[in-house]
Amino acid sequence: MAGLSELASRLRTELGTEKVIDDRQELRTYECDGLAHYKVVPGLVVLARSTADVAAAVRACNDAGVPFVARGSGTGLSGGALPHADGILIVMSQMREILEIDRDGQRAVVEPGVINLQVTRAAAAGGYYYAPDPSSQQVCSIGGNVAENSGGAHCLKYGFTTNHVLGVEFVDPSGNVIEIGGKAPDSPGYDLLGTIVGSEGTLGIATRVTVKLTRAPESVETLLAGFDDTDAAGQAVSAIIAAGVIPAAVEMMDALAIEAAEEAVHCGYPEGAGAVLVVELDGPASEVDAQFADVKRLCDQAGAFELRVAADDAERALIWRGRKSAFAAVGRISPDYIVQDGVIPRTALPEVLRAIADLSGQSGVRVANVFHAGDGNLHPLVLFDDAVDGAAEAAEKVSGQILDLCLQHGGSITGEHGVGADKAKHMPDMFTADDLDTMQLVRCAFDPNGLSNPGKVFPTPRLCGEVPGRHRGAHPLVEAGLAEQF
Amino acid sequence: MTDVLDALQRATGGHAAVAGEADVAGGVPAKWVAAPGSTEEAAAVLRTAAAEGLAVAARGAGTKLDWGTPPRRLDLIVDIGRLDRVIEHAAGDLVVIAQAGVPLRTLGEQLAEAGQRLAVDEVVPGTTVGGMLATGLSGPRRMLAGAVRDLVLGVTLVRADGVVAKAGGKVVKNVAGYDLSKLVCGAYGTLGLVTEANFRLHPIPPAAAYVTARVPDAAAAYAAVQRMLHGQFVPTAVELDRPEPGGPVEIAVLLEGTEAGVTARTAQAVEALGDGAAEGPQPGWWGALPAGDVLVKVTTELTGTGRLLDGIEKAAPAAVRGSAGVGVLYASVAAPDAAGFVLALRDAAPSWQGSVVMLTAPPEVRSEVDSWGPVAGLELMRKVKDRFDPDALLAPGRFVGGI
Ligand SMILES: Cc1cc2nc3c(=O)[nH]c(=O)nc-3n(C[C@H](O)[C@H](O)[C@H](O)COP(=O)(O)OP(=O)(O)OC[C@H]3O[C@@H](n4cnc5c(N)ncnc54)[C@H](O)[C@@H]3O)c2cc1C
Ligand SMILES: Cc1cc2nc3c(=O)[nH]c(=O)nc-3n(C[C@H](O)[C@H](O)[C@H](O)COP(=O)(O)OP(=O)(O)OC[C@H]3O[C@@H](n4cnc5c(N)ncnc54)[C@H](O)[C@@H]3O)c2cc1C
DSSP per residue, A38-51: -----SEEEE--SH
Which residue among A416, A431, A472 sits closest to B175, beta carbon to beta carbon?
A416
Question: At A37, is the pLDDT very low, low, confident or very high (cuts 50, 70, 90)?
Answer: confident
Average pLDDT of span B82-90: 97
| Distance of alpha carbon A11 from the chain centroid | 32
Least confident of A139-143, A188-192, A420-424, A472-476: A472-476
pLDDT value at A486 more than 50 = no
Residues above pLDDT 70, as percent of chain B: 99
Average pLDDT of span B229-248: 95
pLDDT value at B151 more than 90 = yes
Q: What is the pLDDT of residue A462?
A: 67
Q: What is the pLDDT of residue A331?
A: 81
User: Which burial class, exposed, middle or buried, applies to B374 when counting CB atoms under 10 A from its CB (0-12, 13-18, 19+)?
Assistant: middle
Contacts of A318 (CB under 8 A, 6+ apart): A267, A268, A310
Q: What is the pLDDT of residue B61?
A: 78
Average pLDDT of span B129-154: 93
Q: Can you say whether the dihedral through the CA atoms of A70, A72, A73, A79 is positive or negative?
A: negative
Cβ under 8 Å to A: B residues 180-219: 180-183, 185-187, 191, 202-206
The half-sphere exposure of B328 on its side-chain side, counting CA atoms within 13 A, is: 22
According to DSSP, the β-strands at B318-323 and B237-242 are antiparallel
Q: Can you say whether the dihedral through the CA atoms of A140, A141, A145, A147 is positive or negative?
A: negative
Q: What is the pLDDT of residue B64?
A: 63
| CA–CA distance, A391 with B146 (Å, rounded to integer) | 46
User: Which burial class, exposed, middle or buried, applies to B95 when counting CB atoms under 10 A from its CB (0-12, 13-18, 19+)?
Assistant: buried
Question: At B122, is the pLDDT very low, low, confident or very high (cuts 50, 70, 90)?
Answer: confident
Q: At what angle do helices B218-230 and B305-315 cross, to 10 degrees?
A: 150
Greater model confidence, A153 or B142: B142
| CA–CA distance, B241 with B140 (Å, rounded to integer) | 12
| CA–CA distance, A98 with A120 (Å, rounded to integer) | 11
| CA–CA distance, B17 with B33 (Å, rounded to integer) | 5
Find the helix or strand (DSSP H, E) in which B43 lies: helix B39-52
Q: What is the pLDDT of residues A189-199, one digit of tens each?
A: 999 999 999 99
Does the ipTM surpass 0.90?
A: yes
Question: At A464, is the pLDDT very low, low, confident or very high (cuts 50, 70, 90)?
Answer: confident
Contact A65, A449 (CB under 8 A): yes
| CA–CA distance, B338 with B370 (Å, rounded to integer) | 11
Q: Which residues of A touch B378 (CB under 8 A)?
A: 189
Find the helix or strand (DSSP H, E) in which B32 lies: strand B32-34
Least confident of A3-7, A88-92, A199-203, B84-88: A3-7
pLDDT value at A287 more than 60 = yes
Average pLDDT of span A19-39: 93
**A52-83 burial, b if ≥16 CB within 10 A, otherwise e?**
ebbbbbbbbbbeeebbbbbbbbbbbbbbbbbb
| CA–CA distance, B53 with B281 (Å, rounded to integer) | 53
Q: What is the pLDDT of residue A253?
A: 95
Span between the terminal Cα atoms of chain A, in Å: 50
| CA–CA distance, A258 with A274 (Å, rounded to integer) | 8
Q: Which residues of A touch B388 (CB under 8 A)?
A: 441
Please give the distance, rounded to the nearest whole angstrom, from the Cα atom of residue A48 to the centre of ligand 2: 44
According to DSSP, the β-strands at A98-102 and A107-110 are antiparallel
According to DSSP, the β-strands at B207-215 and B249-257 are antiparallel
Average pLDDT of span A142-151: 97
pLDDT value at A396 more than 80 = yes
| Distance of alpha carbon B13 from the chain centroid | 31
Strand order in the sheet with B294-299: B278-280, B207-215, B249-257, B237-242, B318-323, B328-333, B294-299, B356-360
Opening angle at CA B54, ends B53 and B56, nearest 5 = 135
According to DSSP, the β-strands at A205-212 and B356-360 are unpaired
Question: At A19, is the pLDDT very low, low, confident or very high (cuts 50, 70, 90)?
Answer: very high
Average pLDDT of span A279-302: 95
Alpha-carbon dihedral B135, B140, B144, B148, rounded to 10 degrees: -10
| CA–CA distance, B193 with B134 (Å, rounded to integer) | 9
According to DSSP, the β-strands at B328-333 and B318-323 are antiparallel
Contact A311, A276 (CB under 8 A): no
The half-sphere exposure of A180 on its side-chain side, counting CA atoms within 13 A, is: 28
According to DSSP, the β-strands at B24-25 and B28-29 are antiparallel
Average pLDDT of span B376-387: 97
Average pLDDT, chain B: 94
Closest-CA residue to A435 (of B189, B176, B50): B176
Model confidence, pTM: 0.94
Which residue among B176, B297, B385 sits closest to A414, beta carbon to beta carbon?
B176
Mutate to test the pocket of ligand 2, among B64, B69, B151, B156 (most ligand atoms within 8 A of CB): B64
Find the helix or strand (DSSP H, E) in which A100 lies: strand A98-102
Opening angle at CA B321, ends B320 and B323, nearest 5 = 135
A216 close to B (CB below 8 A): no
Please give the distance, rounded to the nearest whole angstrom, from the Cα atom of residue A327 to the centre of ligand 1: 16
Least confident of A463-477, B44-58, B153-167: A463-477
How many C-beta atoms lie closer than 10 Å to residue A110's C-beta?
26
| Distance of alpha carbon B171 from the chain centroid | 23
Question: At A330, is the pLDDT very low, low, confident or very high (cuts 50, 70, 90)?
Answer: confident
| CA–CA distance, B350 with A256 (Å, rounded to integer) | 56
Average pLDDT of span B289-295: 91
Nearest CA to ligand 1 atom 27: A144
**What length is written for chain A?**
486
Q: How big, in percent rounded to 5, are the helix, strand and coil portions of chain B?
A: 35, 25, 40
Contacts of A465 (CB under 8 A, 6+ apart): none
A168 close to B (CB below 8 A): no
Alpha helices in B217-334 (DSSP H): 218-230, 259-273, 305-315
Looking at residue A141, the DSSP 8-state letter turns out to be B
Q: Are the Cβ atoms of B173 and A441 closer than 8 angstroms?
A: no
B402 close to A (CB below 8 A): no
Q: Are the Cβ atoms of B173 and A375 closer than 8 angstroms?
A: yes
Please give the distance, rounded to the nearest whole angstrom, from the Cα atom of residue A295 to the centre of ligand 2: 40
Contacts of A481 (CB under 8 A, 6+ apart): none
| CA–CA distance, A258 with A333 (Å, rounded to integer) | 11
B377/chain A closest Cα distance in angstroms = 6
| CA–CA distance, B238 with B366 (Å, rounded to integer) | 31
Is B247 strand, coil or helix? Answer: coil
| CA–CA distance, A327 with A153 (Å, rounded to integer) | 14
Contact B319, B247 (CB under 8 A): no
Q: What is the pLDDT of residue A461?
A: 66
| CA–CA distance, B105 with B125 (Å, rounded to integer) | 8
A388/chain B closest Cα distance in angstroms = 33
Q: What is the pLDDT of residue A477?
A: 53
Q: What is the pLDDT of residue A1?
A: 45
A197 close to B (CB below 8 A): yes
Strand order in the sheet with B76-79: B16-18, B32-34, B76-79, B56-59
**B158-196 burial, b if ≥16 CB within 10 A, otherwise e?**
bbbbbbbbbbbbbbbbbbbbbbbbbbbbbbbbbbbbbbb
Q: What is the pLDDT of residue A468?
A: 45
**Ligand nearest, relative to CA of residue B395:** 2
Nearest CA to ligand 1 atom 53: A75
Average pLDDT of span A454-481: 64
Q: Are the Cβ atoms of B180 and A438 closer than 8 angstroms?
A: yes
B144/chain A closest Cα distance in angstroms = 9
Question: At A325, is the pLDDT very low, low, confident or very high (cuts 50, 70, 90)?
Answer: confident
Cβ under 8 Å to A: B residues 156-175: 157, 159, 161-167, 169-175
Contact A85, A39 (CB under 8 A): no
According to DSSP, the β-strands at A44-47 and A128-129 are unpaired
Closest-CA residue to A279 (of A406, A157, A404): A157
**What length is written for chain B?**
403
Question: At A467, is the pLDDT very low, low, confident or very high (cuts 50, 70, 90)?
Answer: very low
Q: Are the Cβ atoms of A410 and B171 closer than 8 angstroms?
A: yes
Q: What is the pLDDT of residues B23-56, one digit of tens each?
A: 998 889 999 999 999 999 999 999 999 999 999 9
Please give the distance, rounded to the nearest whole angstrom, from the Cα atom of residue B79 to the centre of ligand 2: 13
Q: Which residues of B touch A148 (CB under 8 A)?
A: 175
Question: At A469, is the pLDDT very low, low, confident or very high (cuts 50, 70, 90)?
Answer: very low
Q: What is the pLDDT of residue B70?
A: 86
Contacts of B7 (CB under 8 A, 6+ apart): A476, A477, A480, A482, B48, B51, B52
Closest-CA residue to A283 (of A314, A337, A246, A241): A246
Q: What is the pLDDT of residue B26?
A: 84
- CA–CA distance from A436 to each of A433, A457, B189 (Å)? 5, 10, 20
Please give the distance, rounded to the nearest whole angstrom, from the Cα atom of residue B148 to the centre of ligand 2: 12
Q: What is the pLDDT of residue A354?
A: 93
Q: What is the pLDDT of residue A485?
A: 45
Contact A253, A321 (CB under 8 A): no
pLDDT value at A137 more than 80 = yes
